[in-house]
Amino acid sequence: MTSYSNYLHEAVTAARIAGSYQKYRFTSFLEIEMKGDKDLVTEVDKESERLIVEHLLSRFPGHNIVAEEGVYPQGGSICRWIIDPVDGTTNYAHGYPWFCSSIALEQDGELVAGVIYNPVYDELFTATKGGGAYLNGSRLSVSTRSPLKNTLLGTGFPYDCATDPANNFASFITFQMSARGIRRAGAAALDLACVAAGRLDGFWELKLKAWDVAAGVLMVREAGGVVTTFDGSPYDIFNNRIVASNGLIHDEMVAMLTSTASGVAE
């Protein structure tokens, strides 16, 4: 089995460097810029990305970078780091302690390593292809809860939900009536990590970007879960409709999403 431990080690180091800075700046005054009506960015996002990218390129100078806040040259490397420096920026800007850095490595188009780090709670989620998923060193496994009525789900809403009919509202209502409960915490990477950890039994969302989901997708899969598109077909990180679950309720979730397609259609 191929070892990805060196990649994972450096990704963990980068996440901890950024997390230390995020924790230091948390609840301090922030310069906020708007990328859209509700989509904001702060100097902490930008500096966190700089710290992560700088560390990774110092260790792997030939690797490609895809990240939320910057544009980076793409060379001929088979390795590509996919980075969200602060997932949950709105939470961060409001002093709500639910945010993280998400770092994933693709090799030949396949996810092979991932790190999600919440510095407030010092929770470090890690995964490698074929090596399992872990939280602070303890092996993770998805939940065994089923059917859907006995489960807790996570989701989110796109920034343009007030203006675009593809807003997830119909699906949210349907799942709220069918599941035990829904949580909308505002950081997709952590939602996926919580599916891997068995805290959530399933998660769905639309209009997410690759950096929101890359590390979390690997974690769910390595913890024994299932990740597909809304119609149940194979998922890749550039698809903007994701459903992840413990596997036991996946067919129910896909059926529910299919039945409420008018609320998710583009």
Q: What is the pTM of this model?
A: 0.93
* Dihedral Cα 9, 197, 263, 261, nearest 10 deg: 100
Minimum mean pLDDT among 73-77, 108-112, 152-156, 231-235: which range? 73-77
pLDDT at residue 262 greater than cutoff 50: no
Top-tier CATH class for 5-139: alpha beta
pLDDT for the residue 3: 76
pLDDT at residue 1 greater than cutoff 60: no
214-225 residue pLDDT tens:
999 999 999 999
Overall average pLDDT of the 131-137 stretch: 98
pLDDT at residue 263 greater than cutoff 80: no
Cβ neighbours of 150 (radius 10 Å): 13
Top-tier CATH class for 148-263: alpha beta
Overall average pLDDT of the 111-138 stretch: 98
Q: E-assigned strands of the chain? A: 32-34, 40-42, 64-67, 79-87, 100-107, 110-118, 123-128, 132-135, 138-139, 152-155, 181-183, 202-206, 226-228, 241-245
Average of per-residue pLDDT values in the chain? 91
Overall average pLDDT of the 165-180 stretch: 88
Domain boundaries of the chain, sorted by first residue: 5-139, 148-263
CA nearest to 51, candidates 79, 90, 10: 10
54-83 residue pLDDT tens:
999 999 999 999 998 888 888 889 999 999
Out of 26-35, 150-159, 218-227, the most confident range is 218-227
pLDDT at residue 192 greater than cutoff 70: yes
